[in-house]
């Protein structure tokens, strides 16, 4: 059994070695930079809440924004009704960026960290306001 033990030890080391990069990364999947919520509009809110839960927004804001754009541009819809029944204007500038007016410290810092470059800003001026048409 001497060799058997060695083989098992070898296997254990092998498995640990090859899974360690994944083990080390457990819990990092949702890592993000500290994003600032310090804006005039947010500081005036009674409840410091986004249009949906923060977890939902972190995971789904890209999808939601795509839907918003289609609804606004194709269907002329201007009002979003959240899960909790609250109403918000469907708009990048007058919606998201009305609250998140610190676009650089909020959207941009997280996107830089995650190496995403939304092309929206090719046309939308974002927090600077207005839209290059
Ligand atoms: C009424 C003001 C308001 C509007 C409108 C709003 N947000 Fe938020 N948002 C907040 C607040 C407040 C938080 C922090 C919520 C919390 O921590 O529970 C937040 C959190 C978030 C987060 C999560 C940040 C984190 O902690 O990781 C994302 C992403 C986000 N918002 C994106 C958006 C996008 C995209 C839009 C437009 C589709 C939008 N928000 C519209 C107020 C708003
Ligand atoms: C907590 C971090 C975080 C914050 C804050 C955040 N984003 Fe994002 N955003 C991401 C990540 C990560 C992706 C890429 C997700 C993917 O590809 O699945 C993304 C993708 C997007 C996309 C799609 C881009 C593409 O090319 O697919 C848009 C549009 C977008 N974000 C808009 C916004 C806006 C507007 C704000 C601010 C109101 C914002 N995001 C705030 C992390 C964030
Ligand atoms: C080629 C230019 C262009 C690009 C790129 C672009 N948009 Fe737009 N967007 C427009 C125009 C034009 C309108 C219509 C504005 C109006 O009706 O006043 C619009 C309207 C919208 C609206 C509804 C109106 C509002 O005030 O916001 C949303 C939401 C929106 N876009 C989201 C996005 C998102 C999210 C992206 C990136 C994933 C994006 N757009 C990329 C040109 C663009």
Residues with CB under 6 Å of ligand 1 are: 32, 35, 37, 42, 45, 48-51, 54, 57-58, 61, 64-65, 88, 95-96, 98-100
Query: How many whole angstroms separate alpha carbon 72 and alpha carbon 2?
Result: 72
**Average pLDDT along the chain:** 87
pLDDT confidence of 34, banded at 50, 70, 90? Answer: confident
79 and 109 Cβ atoms separated by less than 8 Å: no
The model's pLDDT over 47-99, given as tens digits with 9 standing for 90+, comes to 999 999 999 999 999 999 999 999 999 999 999 999 999 999 999 999 999 99
Query: How many whole angstroms separate alpha carbon 128 and alpha carbon 103?
Result: 9
For residue 92, give Cα distances in angstroms to 9, 53, 54, 80: 57, 18, 17, 12
pLDDT score at 64: 98
pLDDT score at 130: 60
């Amino acid at each position: 059994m001497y060799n058997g033990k060695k083989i098992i030890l070898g296997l254990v080391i092998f498995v640990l070695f090859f899974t360690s990069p994944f083990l080390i990364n457990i819990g990092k999947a949702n890592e993000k930079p500290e994003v600032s919520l310090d804006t005039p509009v947010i500081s005036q809110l009674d409840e410091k809440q986004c249009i949906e839960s923060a977890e939902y927004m972190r995971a789904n804001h890209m999808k939601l924004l795509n839907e918003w754009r289609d609804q606004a541009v194709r269907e002329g819809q201007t009002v979003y009704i959240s899960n909790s029944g609250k109403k918000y204007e469907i708009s990048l500038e007058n919606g998201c960026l009305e609250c998140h007016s610190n676009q650089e410290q909020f959207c941009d810092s997280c996107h830089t960290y995650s190496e995403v470059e939304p092309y929206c800003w090719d046309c939308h001026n974002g927090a600077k306001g207005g839209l290059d048409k």
